[in-house]
Amino acid sequence: METLRQWAVSLIISGIAGAVISLISPRGTMEKTLRTVIGIFMVSAVCSPLTGILEEDGISLPASEQITAKADSGLEDYIYDTFDDTLEETVETAAETLGIEGFDVIKDVYIDEYNCIIIRDIHITIPSECSDRAEEFAVILEKNLGFSVSVECR
């Protein structure tokens, strides 16, 4: 009975993790790939009881909790990479709109124990010849990102 309970908990956690990843991921070309990865993750969670059968045959595989923990350990990296890619794409698009080239983005960001992104500060420096567009750049970024960004000239 304990094994069945562990399997059910593993399925629930896998489903929630898959849903969260799906919700926070950007839409577009990576959507099909992400759905495939989440699907494989869910299939592995459903098939996790097979580890007991394989262990009886002398093949040692990790328990279902360890499989889930290994999958979740990559979640933080995935969340951060997705945030970083989205931020870079948004800044590049806004810069292209205003004709700004050669900007630097400094991020003070971390992921807490609940896999939430905590943004302390996003600081962007642009070339001094673009100083007349700095305020407009900051307004566009705030509108597109949903939080304020400090923009200064070099």
Sequence ranges of the domains in the chain: 2-74, 85-153
**What is the distance between the alpha carbons of residues 46 and 55, in angstroms, rounded to a whole number?**
17
pLDDT for 8 beyond 50: yes
pLDDT for 67 beyond 70: no
Phi, psi of 126 (to 5 degrees): -120, 160
Kindly state the average pLDDT of the residues 52-74. 50
Helices (H), 47-63: 50-56
Confidence (pLDDT) at 46: 80
User: Which of 154, 146, 152, 153 has the alpha carbon at shortest distance from 119?
Assistant: 146
**What is the distance between the alpha carbons of residues 30 and 109, in angstroms, rounded to a whole number?**
23
Taking the complete model, does pTM exceed 0.75, yes or no? no
Q: Is-contact 153 124, C-beta < 8 A?
A: no
Query: Which CATH code fits 85-153?
Result: 3.30.300
Q: What whole-number percentage of the chain has pLDDT above 90?
A: 18
